[in-house]
Every structure is written in C-alpha cells, then in structure tokens.
C-alpha cells in the first residue's frame, strides 16, 4: 500500500519506527559468543506482528553508528514484507552509497514489492576520526536522487510509482534557502515529508507548520514523536540534535524520569490526532523498545 493512499483519503497516517537487526563491528567486539542473525530477525518480525493493528506502516530508520553493522534497509524491508504482509519503509542514505548502489537498491525494492521509501541525506561522519566510515555523498542532494528514481520508474513496465518520503525541518521555516531546498524536493517527486521530533506546545509548533504552508509546500507532512528516557537523555538529545527541549520538560524528566517522557510523547501524539486535518500523521520512534508504541498510542 502506498502511504499517499491514506493521506489522500484524509485519514491520519500512523508509522512506527523499528530498528533493523544489527551486530557489533568485528574489530571492536569482545564477545566470544556467536551471534544468531536469524533470531534477531525473528524478533523484529514478532514486533511487527504485535504492533500491526496500531500502524499503517513500519519504517526502518537511518542509523549513524560507527560501532555496529546494520543489515541493509531494503533487504530487511523486503523480507519483513514477505513474512508479515505489512507496509515496510526502508531508508536510503546519500551519505553511505554511490548512485549506482542507491539506484540498484531502489530497483530491487520495486522488484520485491516495496511501495514506499524514505530518502535522507544523512549527517556526515566526523572526518577527524581515522576509524570513521567514509562519507560518500556521490549525490549531494535528496532531490537529485528523487529525480533519478522518477526517471528509473519511467523505464519500468510497472505502472505503479513509489511513494517517496523525505525529511523536513520545521524550525528552519524562516530560512529562504532551506525552503527552496524543500520546494526542489517536492518538485522532484517527494510525496510525503517527515518532520523532526518536537518538544514544544502544539500551538507554537503548528505556527511553524503554517509558515511552511505559506511557503507553498503542499505535500502532506507527518510529525515525529520521540519519547525521552530521562534528564540525561534529554540533555544529550538537545546537544546532539539541537532540539528545543524546554526547561520545564527537562525538570519533569529530572524528577519523574521515563514515565514523564512517555506521558509527554503520548500527549503530543493525541494532540496531533486532534488536529488531523493539518497534521496528516505521526511517526513514532520506539528507540529499540517496541512496547513504547503501544503505550504512546493508548
């Protein structure tokens, strides 16, 4: 199912983010035990099946991780779709592959019945570290890959088109250069934008969404829900991602911990549902704990 079928019907789109299976890098692993990839994949299948009544689709996020190997997103999505019948959304990252590899992966996704993909640029690995993976960026812009995908589809016998998703940062709605980047993605063929996680009151958040619409961005925008674990987690996310986590929320995390973070995520999710005519949908991060999705949506 193409996710645009849901947004075009006016229904609220629900996506749950699940981590793909991974394993430690061989050179840094001190574990003498053998790793069972089949067991790890079977657990992912079980998580999808447990949560399928709560979601219209499951996304496999881009993970910037120098310490672990994560299974190929398109391959995992294809196998998950085959085993569960659910809508799975792999992520393609410009940072990690050249154009031949990206297009090859997307062609295989189309062949295997994947109908939705998420295309991201990906933050660069630090070039100062000798052990860091190489930043590829053969294609420097998301719109470049999206344009190539649309041309690839024109050469295939299938009449159906991929639903292509891409990130959007609402905090940069006042930046003319950034808004031009978003318009170029939309013009290239992006169908749905996925906004960054938000930690402010819903009225302030939606005022920025209005600014985006005033900049002639018409595609549906869905919004990311990210449950914070505790005060230290909130500080780390604020420093790493630049998120605007308020002092009040940090204070609540300091005194009440994960229960407070979960309750705030739940409130934001239901606030989006209450404004479904503008919000279009939500993407819930489980942060490796699939049961968080059930608690947030309850």
What is the tens place of the pLDDT at every residue in 251-263? Answer: 999 999 999 999 9
- pTM of the predicted structure, to 2 decimals: 0.94
- Choose among 122, 200, 185: nearest CA to 150: 185
pLDDT digits (tens, 9 = 90+) for 79-138: 999 999 999 999 999 999 999 999 999 999 999 999 999 999 999 988 876 677 899 999
Read off φ and ψ for residue 288, nearest 5 degrees: 85, 0
Q: In the prediction, which pLDDT does 28 show?
A: 56
Q: In the prediction, which pLDDT does 194 show?
A: 98
Q: Based on the structure, what is the number of domains in the chain? A: 1
Say which residues have a Cβ less than 8 Å from residue 85's Cβ, sequence separation at least 6.
none
Inside any domain, residue 186: yes
Say which residues have a Cβ less than 8 Å from residue 82's Cβ, sequence separation at least 6.
112
Q: In the prediction, which pLDDT does 27 show?
A: 67
Cα 154 from Cα 162, distance rounded (Å): 11
Say which residues have a Cβ less than 8 Å from residue 201's Cβ, sequence separation at least 6.
none
List the domain range (segments joined by +) for residue 59.
4-25+36-297
Q: Which two tokens stand for residue 54?
A: 């709560």
Say which residues have a Cβ less than 8 Å from residue 221's Cβ, sequence separation at least 6.
168, 192, 193, 194, 195, 209, 212, 279, 280
Inside any domain, residue 65: yes
Distances (CA, A) of 238 to 27, 234, 241: 31, 6, 6
Q: What string of H, E and C letters represents the secondary structure of 211-259? A: HHHHCCCCCCEEEEECCCCCHHHHHHHHHHHCCCCCHHHHHHHHHHCHH
Q: In the prediction, which pLDDT does 86 show?
A: 98
Say which residues have a Cβ less than 8 Å from residue 183's Cβ, sequence separation at least 6.
215, 216, 217
Q: Do residues 191 and 164 lie in contact, with contact meaning Cβ atoms separated by under 8 Å?
A: yes
Question: Strand, coil or helix: what is 98?
Answer: coil
For residue 22, give the DSSP letter. E
Inside any domain, residue 17: yes
Inside any domain, residue 194: yes
For residue 52, give the DSSP letter. G
> Which residue numbers in the chain have pLDDT < 50?
none
Q: In the prediction, which pLDDT does 182 show?
A: 97
Inside any domain, residue 31: no
- Choose among 46, 131, 172: nearest CA to 18: 46
Other Cβ atoms closer than 10 A to 42: 13
Distances (CA, A) of 71 to 64, 78, 138, 200: 13, 12, 21, 34
Inside any domain, residue 30: no
Inside any domain, residue 243: yes
* Domain harbouring 50, CATH code: 3.20.20.220
């Amino acid at each position: 199912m193409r996710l645009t079928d849901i947004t075009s019907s006016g229904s609220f789109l629900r996506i749950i983010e699940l981590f793909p299976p991974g394993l430690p890098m061989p050179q840094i692993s001190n574990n003498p035990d053998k790793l069972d990839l089949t067991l790890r994949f079977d657990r992912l299948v079980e998580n999808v099946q447990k949560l399928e009544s709560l979601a219209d689709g499951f996304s496999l996020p881009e993970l910037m991780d120098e310490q672990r190997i994560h299974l190929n997103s398109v391959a995992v999505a294809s196998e998950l779709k085959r085993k569960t019948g659910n809508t799975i959304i792999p992520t393609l990252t410009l940072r990690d592959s050249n154009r031949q590899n990206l297009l090859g992966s997307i062609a295989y996704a189309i062949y295997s019945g994947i109908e939705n993909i998420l295309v991201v640029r990906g933050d660069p690995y630090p070039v100062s570290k000798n052990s860091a993976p190489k930043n590829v960026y053969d294609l420097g812009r998301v719109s470049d890959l999206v344009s190539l995908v649309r041309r690839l589809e024109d050469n295939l016998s299938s009449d159906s088109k991929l639903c292509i998703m891409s990130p959007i940062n609402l905090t940069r709605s006042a930046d003319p250069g950034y808004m031009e980047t978003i318009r170029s993605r939309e013009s290239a063929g992006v169908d749905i934008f996925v906004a960054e996680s938000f930690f402010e009151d819903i009225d302030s958040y939606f005022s920025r969404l209005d600014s985006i619409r005033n900049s002639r961005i018409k595609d549906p925008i869905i919004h990311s829900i990210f449950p914070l674990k505790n005060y230290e987690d909130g500080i780390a996310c604020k420093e790493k991602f630049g998120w605007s986590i308020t002092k009040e929320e940090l204070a609540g995390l300091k005194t009440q911990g994960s229960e407070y973070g979960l309750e705030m995520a739940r409130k934001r999710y239901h606030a989006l549902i209450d404004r479904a005519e503008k919000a279009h949908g939500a993407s819930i991060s489980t942060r490796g704990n699939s049961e968080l999705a059930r608690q947030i949506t309850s």
